[in-house]
Amino acid sequence: MISSNEPLAPMLGKLCARGTLDDADRAAVLALPYKLKAHDADGYIVREGDIATHSCLLRTGFAYRQKIVKTGERQICSIHLPGDMVDLQNSLLVVADHSVQCLTRADTALIPREAVIELAFRRPNIGLAMWYDTLVDAAIFREWTTNIGRRDARTRLAHILCEFAMRMAAAGLGDHTAYDLPMSQQELGDCTGLTPVHVNRMLRSLEEAGLIARKQRSVSILDWDGLVSAGDFDAAYLHLPNA
Amino acid sequence: MISSNEPLAPMLGKLCARGTLDDADRAAVLALPYKLKAHDADGYIVREGDIATHSCLLRTGFAYRQKIVKTGERQICSIHLPGDMVDLQNSLLVVADHSVQCLTRADTALIPREAVIELAFRRPNIGLAMWYDTLVDAAIFREWTTNIGRRDARTRLAHILCEFAMRMAAAGLGDHTAYDLPMSQQELGDCTGLTPVHVNRMLRSLEEAGLIARKQRSVSILDWDGLVSAGDFDAAYLHLPNA
DNA sequence: CGCCCATTTGACAGCTTTCAAATCGCGTGG
DNA sequence: CCACGCGATTTGAAAGCTGTCAAATGGGCG
């Protein structure tokens, strides 16, 4: 068993969920060179336009990908949990087409880009798991496009609450009926293409329907099946291993 | 030089645009086993829920990825041009989380999934180019999420017209000021999260502003800079090689 | 205790949708 | 070569979901 105080252990856990790794693969992952870094809430991990030199593992804390439009509004394209490899996207594409920013204080491990690529092809099991992981990210992007493009506000919010519940549970951060959501209603709006005012109204609607309860930013799901139905949610796109 | 009547030649062209391939790599790509298939307009290449056995190269014609929501409406998540490897996404994820459908009549080459993966890891240059290609797809998904979530209807349409123009030109299907768009206004609406009626009005608005001209489904861009500005368009996310 | 930011609420405006009908384009058949 | 028919496009009017603006309330931190 791998000691959990290995800094790269969360990455190993993620890769094992995305593919099949043998003992030598596991050791190779933990042997990657890295540099630890701490980030404040709202700190940037990557800025749009950056040239990638490192790939980033989110060890603790939450982060999100965002793009800014002409009017100054922003769109959050995905949320990342502890254990996520936040930046395989940008680091292979070289020039970052979006920013990655911290939602909370966070600890990361920066791994040189070349070391990641070298490992991916030296040990195909690992490479396939990493590739798979980036494709799951892509599947989530597609679902978010669909969510914003073709669902009404209430359904969008119910959907995203279901997604977070499933992913938090899969990451071991709470079961799928209760979790702490480290996001403001403004940020929820930036995820769903809504204004914070309307997010507030729709959350209240979900609460009044008895589907969820809120206390500060912790969400309890009182009626999972009801929320799944209200959110038109089908977890297939998350490609979770034990589903 | 590779003979252009090699059925897999379009794939080679795409991969060369996504990475650096030597002669042995090129020969290995063309040596992939494949089966040719013809599709009618609206025919399915992959259906949501399918178990992937083959990866698909779009040799001629246009295709799109789509997801259907509870109300029966659909969201188109991306458009694919001749030469695109339409299904690396689904074939590595195993269970398709979305459908791929033909916009026009199309010819494809089906390549066994295992052969693709084996080649990717046997020849890292090829693997990296394929991985890169899936990441560019992901970058386009993010931009579409942003487009739909945070831009108004007119801007969305101008943006998508710019994207098509750049990609058509990059694929050698017209220059970036005129191209044939094989989509109905209904389908444009499914790309942008709009109704066909509103697509019609906004296209007219772009036309009246002197930015574009339309004749049937062929689009002429009269004022490229104006359309780029109206569409808040920055081609960086397309990660085109010669940009 | 007091400040600051997030949340909440209400009234109103507006962009986009909805519903319907007319027009146009184009392949088919006489 | 022209009439017919069907789907796509176009247009108008009205409804509605979501956004905007503004102010009140609430909670956390120094």
Q: How far is the CA of A106 from the C1' of C14 (A)?
A: 41
Residue A153 approaches strand D within 7 Å at CB: yes
Residues of chain B in contact with residue A232, where contact means CB-CB under 8 angstroms, are 69-70
pLDDT digits (tens, 9 = 90+) for B82-95: 999 998 888 899 99
Query: In whole angstroms, what is the distance from residue B138 CA to residue A77 CA?
Result: 11
Query: In whole angstroms, what is the distance from residue A38 CA to residue A58 CA?
Result: 10
- Closest chain B CA to residue A70: B232
Structural contact between residues B237 and B143, judged by C-beta atoms closer than 8 angstroms = yes
- Cβ distance B69 to A121 less than 8 Å, yes or no, reads no
Residue B152 approaches strand C within 7 Å at CB: yes
* DSSP-based three-state secondary structure for A83: coil
Structural contact between residues A140 and A148, judged by C-beta atoms closer than 8 angstroms = no
Residues in chain B: 243
**Whole-number average pLDDT of chain B:** 94
pLDDT at residue A16 tops 90: yes
**Residue B209 distance to chain A (closest CA, Å):** 19
| Closest Cβ–Cβ partner in A71, A141, A239 for B145 | A141
Query: In whole angstroms, what is the distance from residue B147 CA to residue A42 CA?
Result: 23
Residues 202-231 of B with CB under 7 A from strand C: 216
Beta partners for residue B101, in sequence order = B44, B64
Residue of A101, A93, A94 whose CA lies nearest to A46: A101
- Name residues whose C-beta falls within 8 Å of residue B165's C-beta, 6 or more positions apart in sequence: B176, B177, B179, B219, B221, B224
| Closest Cβ–Cβ partner in B97, B139, B151 for A97 | B139
Residue A75 approaches strand D within 7 Å at CB: no
Query: In whole angstroms, what is the distance from residue B4 CA to residue B135 CA?
Result: 27
Which amino acid does the sequence have at A199?
V
- Cβ distance A135 to B139 less than 8 Å, yes or no, reads no
pLDDT digits (tens, 9 = 90+) for B153-163: 999 999 999 99
| Closest Cβ–Cβ partner in B75, B93, B139 for A145 | B75
Residues 169-228 of A with CB under 7 A from strand C: 184-186, 196-197, 200-201, 203-204, 214, 217
pLDDT at B143: 98
Q: Quote the percentage of chain B above a pLDDT of 90.
A: 89
pLDDT at B193: 98
- Cβ distance A71 to B150 less than 8 Å, yes or no, reads yes
Which residue is associated with the tokens 């589907």?
Answer: A211
pLDDT at B2: 47
CA atoms A171, A172, A175, A180: torsion sign: negative
Question: Quick one: B158 exposed, middle or buried, by C-beta within 10 A (0-12, 13-18, 19+)?
Answer: buried
Structural contact between residues A158 and A227, judged by C-beta atoms closer than 8 angstroms = yes
Query: In whole angstroms, what is the distance from residue B188 CA to residue B136 CA?
Result: 21
pLDDT at residue B241 tops 90: no
Beta partners for residue A78, in sequence order = A65
pLDDT at residue A13 tops 70: yes
pLDDT digits (tens, 9 = 90+) for A95-149: 999 999 999 999 999 999 999 999 999 999 999 999 999 999 999 999 999 999 9
- Cβ distance B127 to A134 less than 8 Å, yes or no, reads no
pLDDT bin (cut points 50, 70, 90) of residue A2 is: very low
Beta partners for residue A80, in sequence order = A63
pLDDT at A91: 86
pLDDT at A3: 47
Query: In whole angstroms, what is the distance from residue A23 CA to residue A67 CA?
Result: 39
- Cβ distance B97 to A236 less than 8 Å, yes or no, reads yes
Radius of gyration of chain A (CA): 18
Over residues B51-71, mean pLDDT:
96
pLDDT at B1: 44
Q: Which residue has the higher pLDDT, A213 or B5?
A: A213
Chosen from B86, B146, B162 to mutate, greatest number of chain A CBs within 10 A: B146
Over residues A72-96, mean pLDDT:
93
